[in-house]
């Protein structure tokens, strides 16, 4: 009986000490337009965005690509400029990250949620950015 209890205890200790495996995401879902919905601050307070003047556009192929800020127009198109951030997807035991690089800075954000309709990113200051797919509109 002692051996059984000792074996059970050993199995419990070994399984509880294993590292948690980070969630993996289909990064192809990142491609396309994303509109900021809210930001959750490190202290838990939230800032809601009813409407944003810009939308983020991601394009990723083979874990590299870019992000651009684009402006929705009244005719349903987007105004695009030449400014973009180079991105690389990094997967590790800690999580899936987007590494950004511009001429002026480099930074990382962890992908917390990535589905067809929702994207949540968290930066190193524990700010969480929640995005949704924008709904196209036109004025005729």
Instruction: Report the predicted TM-score, pTM, of the whole model to 2 decimal places.
Output: 0.80
The residue ranking higher by pLDDT, 97 or 5, is: 97
Reference 134, options 7, 11, 36; nearest CA is 36
β-pair type (64-72, 85-92)? antiparallel
- What is the separation, in whole angstroms, between the first and last Cα of the chain? 80
Q: What is the structure's pLDDT at 23?
A: 73
pLDDT 10s digits, 18-28 = 555 567 789 99
Give, as one character, the DSSP assignment of residue 41.
-
Q: What is the structure's pLDDT at 136?
A: 72
- Mean pLDDT of all residues belonging to the chain: 87
The residue ranking higher by pLDDT, 135 or 31, is: 31
Paired tokens of 15? 């399984």
Q: What is the structure's pLDDT at 8?
A: 45
Q: What domains, with CATH codes, occur in the chain?
A: 20-132 (2.40.128.280)
For range 51-70, the mean pLDDT: 94
pLDDT 10s digits, 93-116 = 999 999 999 999 999 999 999 999
pLDDT 10s digits, 66-94 = 999 999 888 888 899 888 999 999 999 99
The whole-angstrom separation of Cα 71 and Cα 56 is: 9
């Amino acid at each position: 009986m002692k051996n059984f209890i000792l074996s059970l205890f050993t199995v419990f200790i070994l399984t509880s000490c294993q590292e948690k495996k980070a969630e993996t995401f289909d990064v192809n879902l990142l491609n396309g337009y994303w509109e900021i919905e809210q930001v959750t601050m490190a202290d838990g307070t939230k800032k809601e965005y009813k409407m944003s003047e810009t939308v983020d556009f991601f394009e990723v192929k083979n874990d590299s690509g870019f992000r651009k800020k684009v402006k929705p127009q009244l005719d349903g198109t987007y105004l695009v400029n030449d400014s973009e951030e180079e991105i690389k997807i990094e997967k590790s035991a800690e999580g899936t990250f987007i590494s950004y690089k511009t001429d002026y800075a480099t930074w990382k954000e962890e992908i917390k949620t990535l589905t067809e309709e929702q994207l949540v990113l968290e930066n190193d200051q524990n700010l969480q950015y929640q995005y949704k797919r924008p709904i196209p509109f036109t004025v005729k």
